[in-house]
């Protein structure tokens, strides 16, 4: 009975991860809140690893949905299209470098000093306001880049610099990169796609780093803990498929202002909950 209860909780965590990883609302903020009310019966070390590795399911959803666009070997593409695909991958790698370097150097420090409700609440609110102001500023503005293949190396590097902001919990990786893309004149659909592609090496690298640290610390996982991780990944994969499709449809017709309002409300809720706790 206890095992079944843990699996049900893993399903809930997978749903929250699959929804919030791609929407610009901060998966970390939602995970912190969820952990307050639904606590997994796992070791502290395992849970720290679980929060990151559960993202693997979400990443597989991106790979599946955009496999043709990301595949430079597709027989359905001509030589020019294959070259453009390789160029897109090179731009993604260039954009990943700033966050990768800072993330590796400061991973332990950030875990110790930034993973708390105050930081999460503040960043939720600050970037919520930023989304609203940015969308207001861009009303009627014609974006220079409307296709993900048209993003040049300079723009890719700057988007990568914006991604560094997401190392602060509560910022939202997708939120930081999409907001950065919009600032740089990239349309919402193209910015969202590039953000999804950036997530592949970033989240794979973060997961590998967490697993490596977990193993080097000599911590072992129980069968139940591994089952919880597997279920969480599978659920986050399925939910991510639905959320990514829905988000791409949404950004073609709507602004991100509503997400800004949601972030401000959630930030206030997080702050109020923990202050009154």
* Predicted local confidence at residue 210, as pLDDT: 78
Task: Give CA–CA dist 227/131, Å, rounded.
Answer: 38
Q: Where residue 240 falls among pLDDT bands split at 50, 70, 90?
A: very high
CB 124 within 8 A of CB 26: yes
CB 191 within 8 A of CB 213: no
Q: Nearest 5°: phi and psi at 68?
A: -65, -45
Q: 0.75 exceeded by the pTM?
A: yes
Q: Nearest 5°: phi and psi at 21?
A: -65, -35
Residue 239: burial class (beta carbons within 10 Å; 0-12, 13-18, 19+): buried
* Predicted local confidence at residue 265, as pLDDT: 93
* Predicted local confidence at residue 270, as pLDDT: 85
Q: Where residue 92 falls among pLDDT bands split at 50, 70, 90?
A: very high
* Predicted local confidence at residue 243, as pLDDT: 95
Share of the chain above pLDDT 70, in %: 100
Beta bridge partners of 186: 145
Whether the per-residue pLDDT at 167 is higher than 80: the answer is yes
| 2-11, 58-67, 250-259: the lowest-pLDDT one | 250-259
Whether the per-residue pLDDT at 263 is higher than 90: the answer is yes
The phi-psi region of residue 139 (left if phi > 0; otherwise alpha if psi is between -120 and 50; otherwise beta) is beta
* Predicted local confidence at residue 172, as pLDDT: 87
* Predicted local confidence at residue 139, as pLDDT: 78
Task: Give CA–CA dist 145/149, Å, rounded.
Answer: 9
Residue 112: burial class (beta carbons within 10 Å; 0-12, 13-18, 19+): exposed
What is the tens place of the pLDDT at every residue in 207-228? 887 788 877 877 778 889 999 9
Q: Where residue 252 falls among pLDDT bands split at 50, 70, 90?
A: confident
What is the tens place of the pLDDT at every residue in 94-150? 999 998 888 777 777 877 778 778 888 899 999 999 989 988 887 777 888 999 999
Task: Give CA–CA dist 199/193, Å, rounded.
Answer: 10
Task: Give CA–CA dist 212/225, Å, rounded.
Answer: 17
Tell me how many degrees the CA angle 25-27-28 measures, rounded to the nearest 5. 115
Please report where in the chains the tokens 């909780």 appear, as a residue: 9
Residue 178: enclosing H or E segment and its boundaries?
A: helix 173-183
Beta bridge partners of 145: 186
Look at residues 26, 38, 18 and name the one whose alpha carbon lies nearest to residue 266: 26
Whether the per-residue pLDDT at 45 is higher than 90: the answer is no
Whether the per-residue pLDDT at 168 is higher than 90: the answer is no
């Amino acid at each position: 009975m206890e095992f079944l209860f843990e699996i049900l909780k893993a399903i809930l965590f997978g749903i929250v991860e699959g929804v919030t990883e791609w929407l610009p609302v901060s998966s970390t903020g939602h995970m912190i809140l969820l952990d307050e009310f639904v606590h997994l019966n796992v070791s502290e070390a395992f849970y720290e690893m679980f929060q990151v590795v559960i993202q693997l399911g979400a990443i597989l959803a991106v790979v599946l949905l955009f496999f043709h666009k990301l595949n430079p070997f597709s027989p359905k593409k001509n030589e020019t299209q294959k070259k453009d695909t390789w160029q897109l991958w090179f731009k993604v790698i260039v954009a990943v470098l700033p966050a990768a370097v800072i993330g590796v150097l400061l991973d332990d420090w950030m875990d110790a000093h930034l993973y708390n409700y105050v930081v999460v609440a503040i960043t939720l609110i600050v970037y919520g306001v930023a989304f609203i102001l940015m969308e207001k500023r861009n009303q009627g503005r014609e974006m220079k880049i409307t296709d993900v293949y048209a993003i040049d190396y300079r723009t890719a590097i700057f988007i990568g610099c914006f991604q560094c902001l997401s190392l602060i919990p509560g910022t939202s990786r997708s939120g930081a990169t999409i907001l950065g893309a919009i600032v740089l004149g990239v349309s919402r659909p193209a910015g969202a796609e590039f953000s999804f592609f950036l997530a592949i090496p970033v989240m794979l690298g973060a997961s590998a780093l967490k697993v490596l640290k977990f193993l080097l610390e000599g911590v072992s996982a129980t069968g139940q803990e591994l089952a919880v991780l597997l279920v969480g990944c599978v659920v986050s994969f399925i939910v991510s498929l639905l959320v990514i499709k829905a988000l791409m449809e949404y950004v073609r017709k709507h602004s991100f202002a509503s997400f800004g309002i949601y972030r401000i409300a959630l930030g206030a809720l997080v702050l109020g909950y923990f202050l009154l706790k």
